[in-house]
């Protein structure tokens, strides 16, 4: 029987500790099978893992915590992926650039000063 390759990490791994990343890469197929119901838990630890992973709050057990975080992150990236990876830099030749803003401030400053002296 051929050995399975590492589990494909489907979200940004920078948000995980090295230990969590390694656990998901190594045991991800098992985690996925157990949490989806494809594999039936055969030990008490596996049953506890399934219960913890489907809980609302982050579990404290190492394997369950790694998989819980992974599932939550995959869901977040699926829902908000485009917004999460977009660039927020403005091009230099936009409709209203920095030089234009300086000119407006200079002009308005002069107008305000003249009006203040008049008043």
Mean pLDDT by 10 residues, the chain (119 residues): 78 92 96 95 94 91 96 91 66 70 78 66
Alpha carbon distances (Å) from 69 to 53, 57, 82, 94, 99: 9, 10, 20, 40, 46
pLDDT at position 28 is: 96
The DSSP secondary structure of 45-101, one letter per residue, reads: HHHHHHHHHTSSS--SSHHHHHHHHHHHHHHHHHHHHHHHT---PPPTT-SS-HHHH
Q: What is the pTM of this model?
A: 0.67
pLDDT at position 1 is: 46
What is the spatial distance between Cα 66 and Cα 63, in angstroms, rounded to a whole number? 5
């Amino acid at each position: 029987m051929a050995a399975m390759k590492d589990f494909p990490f489907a979200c940004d791994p920078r948000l995980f500790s090295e230990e969590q990343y390694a656990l998901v890469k190594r045991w991800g197929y098992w985690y996925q099978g157990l949490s989806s119901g494809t594999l039936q838990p055969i030990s008490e630890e596996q049953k506890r893992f399934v219960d913890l992973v489907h809980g609302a709050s982050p579990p404290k057990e190492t394997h369950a915590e790694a998989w819980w975080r992974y599932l939550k992150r995959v869901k977040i990236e699926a829902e908000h992926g485009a917004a999460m990876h977009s660039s927020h830099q403005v091009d230099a030749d936009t409709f209203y650039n920095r030089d234009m803003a300086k000119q407006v401030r200079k002009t308005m400053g002069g107008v305000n000063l003249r009006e203040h002296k008049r008043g």
